[in-house]
Amino acid sequence: MKRPVGVEVFRCADGAQSESIEKSGVLVRNQLRVIRAFSWGALAMEGGGTPDEELKGLESVRPGEFDYLGAQWPRMEDFLRARGLSEKEAA
């Protein structure tokens, strides 16, 4: 069976495979939390969301962890900076 592009399986005798899968799952969940918070923030700016809602679940996100999302997405970069989620200084 052919694996989808970008999917890698790590096989180690010491059980590291499950650990790396677990770590990637945490990374994906955190990335989705950041995108969700960004969306809530945009919605709140338009008057349809609650501002505090956007920050739920971001406690585990380290500053700079998702700076790559703002590299080609200026509004995301502004969002990350404004909430202290970027390693770059807020403007």
CA distances from 44 to 32, 34, 48, 50 (A): 18, 15, 5, 6
Is pTM beyond 0.75? Reply is: no
* Torsion angle of C-alpha atoms 25, 22, 61, 47, degrees rounded to 10: 30
pLDDT digits (tens, 9 = 90+) for 41-81: 877 777 766 656 677 778 888 899 999 999 999 999 998 99
pLDDT digits (tens, 9 = 90+) for 25-39: 888 888 888 998 888
